[in-house]
Amino acid sequence: MLKRLLTGTCYILVLAVCYCLKIFVPQPYGDFCFDALIYAFAIIGTFEMLRAVKDKITKVEKGLVWAFAIAAIPVCAISEVYLQKYGGGITATAAVFMAFVMALFIAFIANHEKMSLESFGVSLVSAIYPTVLLCAMVLINHVDINGAAVKDFALDSRLAILLVFYLSPWVDSIAYVFGFCFKKYFPKKMAPKLSPNKTVIGCVGSFVGGAVGAASLYFLYNMPVLAGSYAQMYIWLPVYMVIGLIVTVAVILGDLVESCIKRKAGIKDMGNLIPGHGGILDRIDSALFATVAIYVCFLIIRLIV
């Protein structure tokens, strides 16, 4: 338990340091500091993913997955900052991913005796999880919603990043409380084969945690910005509670996807980098899918404001 607490604290400190660098280092270099952390997640996560699939893919496919993981995050970040008029990070990430897919097809033709449709699919999954999903984290790290909403409600990349790493613990914690308190009255399992400890009542608690967590972060983050303008804050409160509910779905999905991958791979943890917690992917599994949900929500807000 002590080891788990210490390593968890170190992980939080690393996040906090990178987040502070994002705030206090002049832009765009501050954002690049947090991109460096995301890049580390991609490299370590790819290592864990490829180790989990072991001999299910060939060396050529592993090399292509590594090439994609190494290239995608920097290309996405640099394009999002300097090539906005050409589509920015989304276009650049799509181009790199399509190049990866085409390279896989070429390898499939040239190495058809060793490669299989299964290995092809595993290679695609190993590229998407985690690197493509982490590219979405790069995008929210640079998100910028123009208009009055930025000034009045601080709908910026700082809040987006906080949402990713703040909501997941709320969802998990309130789900645990609901499960602990009400499991004996509502014992039905949500996914007994993938995650035996998860109950339906715990899932209900997850949504409560997501809504309350999003509302609390919204107030804490915006209170200095809107001192004395609480009426305006309440107008946007339901929006953030809806974002919390959407992120809850993503968090639950991320947890179940990770459980499914580990069950298929026949392993308990994706790695051992963080003793007591497992690997990097064991720590950020929920954050990966929460990132995509938050980015989509912010894009919708961008269209509205």
Q: pLDDT: is 82 or 145 the higher one? A: 82
| pLDDT band per the 50, 70, 90 thresholds, residue 54 | confident
Calculate the average pLDDT of the chain.
86
pLDDT value for 225: 60
Spatial separation of the C-alpha atoms in residues 83 and 91, rounded to whole Å: 10
pLDDT 10s digits, 98-113 = 999 999 999 999 988 8
Spatial separation of the C-alpha atoms in residues 203 and 191, rounded to whole Å: 11
What would the mean pLDDT of 6-34 be, rounded to a whole number?
Answer: 90
pLDDT of residue 157 exceeding 60, the answer is yes
CA–CA distance from 93 to each of 71, 78, 79 (Å)?
9, 11, 9
What would the mean pLDDT of 101-129 be, rounded to a whole number?
Answer: 93
Q: Any bridge partners for residue 191, and if so which?
A: 195
Spatial separation of the C-alpha atoms in residues 84 and 264, rounded to whole Å: 40
Q: pLDDT: is 229 or 78 the higher one? A: 78
The reported pTM is 0.90
